[in-house]
Each structure stands twice: as structure tokens, then as C-alpha cells.
Structure 1
Amino acid sequence: MALAKRPAVDDATRLSGPEKAAVVMLALGEDHTRLWEALDEEEIREISQIMSGIGTVSSAAVEGLLMEFVSGMSSTGAIMGSFEQTQRLLAAFLPPDKVDSLMDEIRGPAGRTMWDKLANVNEAVLANYLKNEYPQTVAVVLSKIKGEHAARVLSALPEDFALECVQRMLRMEPVQRDILDKIEQTLRTEFMSNLARTSKRDSHEMMAEVFNNFDRQTESRFLNALEERNRDAAERIRALMFVFEDLGKLDPGGIQTLLRAVAKDQLGIALKGASDTLRELFFSNMSERAAKIMREDMNSMGPVRLKDVDQAQQAMVVIAKTLAAKGEIMLAGSSGDDELIY
């Protein structure tokens, strides 16, 4: 799916300082490297980031910034900022590895190395790319990423092809550095760069993550306001959110694992604001003595600020998500696929 085009820039006065600098650099082209050499790394990063995404800048806007070059610009008209143009300009004065690093940062996904970046790629997207590669190449790639991610990618590949990749992984010997470098370069140029242009994170998932980090009052205020304007969006965000009360969906083993990971004082504060049902669920998974001590500690606390309760509950949610990412507990979502059968 192609990304929506950014509206053309027609008024130079609306541009920020760094945006004006990016337009000037694009207008000057590849023959003015001394200007780049006078900038520090942070300035280069900021300007190149803007250059890669600024889109079309009208000739009128360019002339407003470069009146002394009006005659030169009038024949070329508008200029277009792009990944390729930015990379060519940077390559004129920076080492290749520095250019690759900057462009990878601009394009995303986030990560220090190529294998870090692959960890942030959805398994279905990665599998769709790898299914057209040689099984040996896929085996190398899967051996370089985390086991849980590799498992999800294998599950998304055609079964016969996936089994062939598994066999190659079982027989794999140490990969030569030059072959590994070639695979990394191919992933960078053929996959990651295209991914940055064509993929887009679901906006509702992104907002659910944001709402998860609101305190209770702010979350309620925003969701209620959004519900009045766009009920469907509010319902989708609410369904995607994982909140403290969802901990009640954990199985007994999951609750006990979580209890071992949470500080006792934070647990008491969190449970002060929990529903009776959820509170009793946690108590039932403690020893009789531990539950009695926790009840006594909670009674001795007296009134607790809502802000402190929210922070303690949010901390427990973060711990639960961390444990789930490690495979130590299972978080049941809204999908029926996550229901547990006993």
C-alpha cells in the first residue's frame, strides 16, 4: 500500500529553521559538501531526516529562500526530497558505514543492527519476504533472530518450505563473514528500505499503547471524548488495551508467577484500588499466611491516593507484559484463540 503523499510546500515562511536548511541543501545538490562538513553529527541527522520526508517544495518557496539563485532555480522548478537523494548527498562526504547507519535510522524499524531491526518486523511480513528466498538463506536469517520470533515466522511460511528451512538449520555450520555481510546488505537494500515505505503500524494499536500509559482519569476523559466523536475508534482502542483488570484472566500459575515478581508494598497499593473479585483472586493464589499479612498491611495503609494506585497498577501491567514477552506467563486477549481449556 503506497503512503499518502505529503502536500507540496508552497510557502517558505511556514518552514522551520531545520526545514529551510534541508531545502537549501537539496537545492544546492551534491557539489557543496563543504557545507555538510561544517555541521556536527546531530545537525546532519536532523537535516537529513527532514530531507528524506519533506516531499515536494515548490519553486516559489525555493526562490523565497534562495533569491540569489532565482535564475538557476527557474529552469528546474520544484525539487523533490527522497531517500535516494538524501543518501546520494550524504555519501558525498560521509563514510559508507555512517551513511548506512543514518539511512537505517531514518527508514526504521528501530534497532542497532540488522538483526535488531528484524525483531521489530511483523512475522507475517517477514515470512512473506522470506518465502521467495533460498531455504539456506532463510535458515541463516532465522538462526540470527530470537527463537520465539523465528517460531512465529516458520509458522507463517508454507509448511513444506518451513520444514526444508528447519532441516537446513539443523545441518547449519558457521556462516562465513562475507556471506553474512551479503545477506545483511540484501536485507537492508531489498527488504528494510521497501518496508519503511510500504508498511504502516495500525493506528489503533499505537493509540491503545498510548492510552495504556495514561493515568485512569486521563484515559477515561480521552476515551469518553473520543467515543462522542468516533464510537468505532474508541471501541477498537478499548478492545486493544490491556489494563489492570485484565490480570484477572491469568491462570493460577500466571498469577503466582506475577506475585513473585511484584514488590509486596506495590502489590498492596495496587490491590487497594482493585475490584473485590480481582483482589480475592490474588489472595486465593497466596498462602493463607501471606494473604493474611497482605490484608493487614492494606488495612494499616489507610487512604491511598488514586495517583499512587494507578502507578502501582500500571507497574504490575508492565511486569506482566515483560513476563509474557519472556514466555513465563500467558496474557489472554479479547480473541477466542487465547481462551484456556482445562
Structure 2
Amino acid sequence: MNVSSPLNNEFAISRRRKAAMIVQMMISDGGNLSLSQLPESLQELLTDELGAIRLVDRDTVLGVAEEFIAELGSLGLSAPGSRDGAIAALSDHLSPTVAARLREQMESVRFGDHWHIVIDLPNSRIVDIMNAESVEICAVALSKLPTSKAAAVLAQTPGERARRITYAMSLTADISPDAVHRIGQSLAKEYGRPVSSAFDKAPAQRLGAILNSAVTQTREEVLGGLGEDDPEFANDLRKAIFTFKDIPARVKPTDIPNCIRTVDPAQLSSAIASALAADEPVISAAEFILSNVSQRMAGQIREEAEELGTIKKADAEAAMSSVTSAIRDLVESGTITLRDPEADTDE
């Protein structure tokens, strides 16, 4: 019977062998070790060392365990221990540009499996892959996704494009693992990095802010032209624009007192006076404001508005703009939230 001799002198044991013994102790106690984070060469050495151990006497086990505990007690700091580990630890604290560049330099990125980066991308980003890459690459990418995510991505892919991709999946049976690896590496590098933009707001929000300050005629002409050229963008733009006539649909009734609190009383009276003399949507906005303040305040504003009489068009635009600007300021500060005009509401 070929059985290795028991180990009975812990001082004659190499540090590598002691490490293997500690791992065995932890595994025996049900510990969950992240050994996969070690370099593959160390994982193989650890396996060889553990495979060479057969029997170890109790005194030797206790001696190795005590030495291990003593070393743990003397440690004052635990650091990543590798450049890859340092990059992973610091990436959330670095600028996005530097973090992205350093991630590309990680050994695990250059030589490891990159598909987890692609799989973790938001659905909208994977849809970009479906629309931009060849159908063969899209078929491989779709095959690597979890079933539920693949179904969601496919549903957001244009019909004809989706049909071609699903057909291409039938041609991937003989694709080599190396090819799949390289496709994952390429997609992770191209789509895994943060998308940089010169602007912090979407185009509709930027143009909407400009049109909010424009005169009514200019605003309507721009919206009319965009409605013919790009209906989808025009619809997004209308949601970003907030004018006086949008108040009833966008502002909660309970927020009205707070909205007009910072408006100059003279400007508020001018806004109401000019609005009550305008077309129906603007009249409705004025009545909405008056119906959601106290009766005393509403009566006072009506009296002042009647005394003002006819308001010049430029003065009317400025007065109503002062009201909407006050509301937008409250939105920007997070004090109130505008309602979505297309959302169902019980109010």
C-alpha cells in the first residue's frame, strides 16, 4: 500500500505546502474561497501541493494554523497585490476616461473572457450592437446573452434586421471557441467603454431650453418645421418645452401657490391679464392658477388684472415668461416635479 508518510514537523514544511494545508482546512470547514482570482500559474501550483498531501498529524496542523493566525494578526493593511487588482479597486474613484483606459490594460481584459462586459451592458447599448455590427456577429452576441435579455433586445431590434440575425444563428454551429472569444473581446472594447459626450443634456432638452425663452411665433415655427422633418424629435421637444399654456397639464394643483410665490406681483397680474385676453389654452392656464390659490388672492389678482387693461404683446410675453421661469427654477432645484402630459393621472 503506497501511502505518503505523515508530516510531523511543521518547521520542515515549505510555505507553499503550508498554504495548501490552510486552504484544505478552510475547504473542510465549508469556507468559500475565491481562488479563481489568483493567477492561473498559482492555482496550478496550489493544486499540485494539495495533491501531494496525504496524512498530517494533529500537532503539525495546529502549528501551521497558529503560524497562519499569527501572520494574520501582524498584518496592518491588505492591498490588491497586483496591478489588475489596483485598477479594479480604484476604477470607481478615477475619472471615467482614465478608468476606461486602465481597464483595457488589465491582464484579465487582454487575455481573459470579455463576454461578461458585453452581457452587463444596458439593453439599449446591445441594441446598438444589433443595428451596427454584421448579422453573424450579432447572432453570436445574441447567443451569449441570458434568454430573457436576448428576448428583450430582439424585441427592440427592427423587424427585418431581427429576422436576418435569427437566421444567422443557424449558421453558428461550427464557429470556433477562439472566434467567439475574439468577438467578445472586440465588442467589449468597442461598446464597453463609457460613451463620451460634449453635452450633459439630450438635444431635445437643450433646444427646449432655448425655445422656452423664445417668442411664441418663433417657437411655433420651429416646432411646425421639425414636425414635418423629424416627428419623433419634435414630440420629444414638445415634452421638453414648458410654456404658460402647459401649466394645467404639467403642474400639480397643490404646487401652484409655491410656484407663484417668487413671481413679482406686478408681473403676475400682467401675466394673468394678458392670458385672460388670449386664446382658450392660455385662458385655461390663467384660470387654473386662480383656482388653485386662496379666494382672497384670486380676487385681488383679478381686480389688478382688470385695472391693467390691454397689455402690449412684448410685455405679455415677458410677464408670462416670468411665471414659467419661476416654475422651471423650482423644477431644476428639485422642489417640485412636472407631470408627464402623456401619463395617466387620477388628478
TM-score by length of 2: 0.40
TM-score under structure 1 length normalisation: 0.40
Structure number with greater Rg is 2
